[in-house]
Chains A and B, each alone.
Chain A
């Protein structure tokens, strides 16, 4: 059965990993994520969850100090759709082997072509400007769609060499400078027509159309416990065969969880009620501790209660990376991969964490996550507090971590017993690689030169 499963999962991972559209979306978010994290720090400082915080700083800098910091967080959050468009367009341009930065440039222009630029002020005066309503969270999906379409068209024209032919005698560098003209013209012309065409429909703007027909339904589907269970199982199931689960699953889920997270962040910034449970911080910090499979729980049991040399050594080696959520040493070293004993708790513990965390959040015992983006390497305890602003969440995290230890305990003890028996029978065995000496592998660099 394990074999059959591996033969189904490998091609799926391969297909998703090779799909240029999905890779572009995933890598595009890699470009915006650091910006969101830094802006989150500014927002967090602005709203730090300690009573008297705001008054304390107002005493030093005067009333209105928060406006300075808001400027930084708004520079990212209110443009997150626009930035997603830029990042994805760049990544997609790179995937299609065309001029990536030129392609990203034309994609953000296409995005703005679709955006209304006439604003009516309350008094009735009309001005030219951009409403960040269109460029922020609500524009994430549109940003992705525009990036993919614009860059596809751009690359199509550019790779076919559609360019203005210069008469012989014109320096090649001059001719090259026109290379981007026709591809860019095609993209901008196309989006010009799309904008006019959409104006004739009841939607009015492409923003409205994509928001209603794509973003809202997909977000609704992703914001369910069912979808989260599928996501969680996909992550651990892929890891069970040694494939980086989140890297595969995120290529499908990332746009949706990004929207859910940003909606909370927008609400947090505006001081409104937080709308969504299933954000990125929720799944990063309340379903898995120490990496996929919640292996920090496993690690604690390994270090404290196991006796075999193999497990003890591995535990020591993995502890520090494990605290920061990096668990490949355990996954491949214990190993978790294809290990029928450990795979049971490895898949069950995150599921248990997900169900319990959803329950305690629904019951109001821990608050909703504010959407403040933290690096997924933030250690347990700190992450709970920073993600929700409540110490209760930190305490809850630690309890959940201990509960995970209890689930892992019987399984790892079984493995420990087996390794202990093996160790008493056999000494260390060396294979060919161990017997190679670095002298045999001398690089002969002189001979080469």
Chain B
């Protein structure tokens, strides 16, 4: 079974662009990964109903990081996306961060 990476920002608009780029990179390298973008408001519901392996927050909601980490960080990595990578919509770097988080969580 592959891993599900969830990206959250306020409305899920710009993160959907980044998610698309990350998915392209993942597919290119044949990594068993699904990248999904959603509005932050749907986080509790998403975690309750779907298999969320990594939570990544866009920099525009960095003020929600602590809260999200406290609520959901025990069972999966919660990562704040680097602002420069986010701005450049660098799918490869953000995907690497996600996979790195997964790897560290396993150790």
Which of A's residues lie within 8 Å of B, judged by CB?
10, 13-14, 17-18, 23, 26-27, 30, 91, 94, 239, 242-244, 247, 314, 317, 321, 326-335, 337, 377, 433-434, 436, 438, 441, 443-445, 448-449
Contact = CB atoms under 8 A, between A and B. Distances in A.
A443 B3 contact: yes
Contacts of A326: 13-14, 17
User: Which of B39, B44, B59, B87 has most A Cβ within 10 Å?
Assistant: B87
A243 B63 contact: yes
A45 B13 CA distance: 28
A14 B63 CA distance: 5
Given A242-B62, A326-B13, A445-B32, A332 B100 contact: no
Q: For this complex, into which size category does the number of interface residues on chain B fall? A: 35 or more
B90 to A, nearest CB: 9
B41 A30 contact: yes
Given A14-B63, A242-B60, A333-B89, 15 more contacts: A10-B63, A23-B41, A247-B61, A317-B89, A321-B17, A328-B9, A328-B86, A329-B14, A332-B87, A335-B84, A433-B97, A436-B96, A441-B99, A441-B100, A449-B1
A145 B67 CA distance: 27
25 contacts: A17-B61, A18-B67, A27-B41, A94-B44, A244-B60, A247-B11, A247-B61, A321-B14, A326-B13, A326-B14, A328-B86, A329-B87, A333-B88, A335-B83, A335-B84, A433-B100, A434-B93, A436-B96, A436-B100, A438-B31, A441-B102, A443-B102, A444-B106, A445-B2, A448-B106
A242 to B, nearest CB: 5
Given A30-B41, A94-B45, A443-B102, A433 B93 contact: yes
A326 B15 CA distance: 10
Chain A contact residues: over half helix, strand or loop, or mixed?
A: helix
B87 A335 contact: yes
B25 to A, nearest CB: 9
Interface in B1-24: 1-3, 9-11, 13-14, 17
